[in-house]
């Protein structure tokens, strides 16, 4: 099977699995990450076969929906790519990216070691920022039965992945525990440029949120 067919079959497979998902980790999230990764990857002169596959498969089995199992995604991706006859080098590279792409807490380093991994990680993080990132945060918070905001509940700088996974903080706290930290953790020049704009938008949103919370116009 040629590379374009593998990518198209993978896109169709993920679309079938994730369409209609309501926590913000749906097919359209994957589609946006895929599109952004193509945009960044071309500028970075990355291996686009790896970039596209990793972007499409990065949420095939997200740990948040698989009992906290951080290896569920790479196992599912490997099984899928083997079924398509992909070569072992490509499969291993894609699985390494999937294992490392996720944010795992303020104190946890998740630095990618390959250009392709950096591209996909930036694309995924950009979709957690800006207007869409805000919408996704509240969608996930609702799906996880989290409060929107509670002034007495303080944000935490999680130092381990276990602490991050077990957090029950509010959605607004999530801005301080993850979303506002992403700007300074981007890998590529293109990712950093886009992140600056989306970061500013989130800061403006929070200022407005607190005004309205206090009943101000």
Whether the Cβ atoms of residue 86 and residue 6 lie closer than 8 Å to each other? yes
pLDDT classification of 65: cutoffs 50, 70, 90: low
Please state the domain extents for the chain.
Answer: 3-213
Q: Which residue has the higher pLDDT, 61 or 26?
A: 26
pLDDT classification of 66: cutoffs 50, 70, 90: low
The mean pLDDT of the chain is 94
pLDDT attached to residue 68: 63
> What are the pLDDT digits (tens) for 97-137?
999 998 988 888 888 999 999 999 999 999 999 999 999 99
The full DSSP string for the chain is --HHHHHHHHHHHHHHHHTT--SS-SHHHHHHHHHHHHHHHHHHT--HHHHHHHHHHTTTT-GGGTTT-TTHHHHHHHHHHHHTT--HHHHHHHHHHHHH-S---TT-----SSHHHHHHHHHHHHTTSHHHHHHHHHHHHHHTT--S--TTS------SHHHHHT----HHHHHHHTGGGGGGG--SHHHHHHHHHHHHHHHHHHHHHHHHHTT--
Whether the Cβ atoms of residue 106 and residue 181 lie closer than 8 Å to each other? yes
- 3-213: in CATH 1.10.3210.50: yes
pLDDT classification of 56: cutoffs 50, 70, 90: very high
> What are the pLDDT digits (tens) for 74-90?
999 999 999 999 999 99
pLDDT classification of 54: cutoffs 50, 70, 90: very high
> What are the pLDDT digits (tens) for 140-198?
999 999 999 999 999 999 999 888 878 889 999 999 999 999 999 999 999 999 999 99
pTM: 0.93
């Amino acid at each position: 099977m040629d590379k374009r067919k593998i990518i198209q079959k993978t896109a169709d497979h993920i679309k079938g699995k994730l369409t209609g998902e309501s926590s913000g980790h749906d097919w359209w999230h994957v589609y946006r990450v895929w599109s952004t990764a193509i945009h960044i990857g071309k500028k970075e002169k990355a291996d686009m076969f790896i970039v596209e596959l990793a972007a499409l498969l990065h949420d095939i089995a997200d740990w948040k929906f698989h009992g906290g199992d951080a290896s569920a995604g790479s196992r599912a991706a490997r099984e899928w790519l083997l079924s398509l006859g992909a070569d072992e080098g490509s499969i291993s590279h894609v699985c390494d990216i999937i294992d490392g792409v996720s944010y795992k807490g303020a104190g946890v380093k998740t630095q990618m070691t390959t250009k392709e991994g950096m591209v996909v990680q930036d694309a995924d993080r950009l979709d957690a920022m800006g207007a869409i990132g805000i919408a996704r945060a509240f969608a996930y918070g609702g799906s996880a039965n989290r409060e929107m905001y509670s002034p007495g509940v303080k944000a935490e700088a999680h130092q381990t992945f276990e602490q991050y996974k077990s957090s029950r903080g509010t959605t607004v706290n999530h801005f301080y525990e993850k979303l506002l930290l992403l700007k300074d953790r981007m890998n590529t020049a293109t990712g950093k440029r886009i992140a600056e704009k989306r970061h500013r938008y989130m800061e403006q949103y929070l200022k407005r949120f607190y005004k309205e919370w206090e009943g101000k116009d």
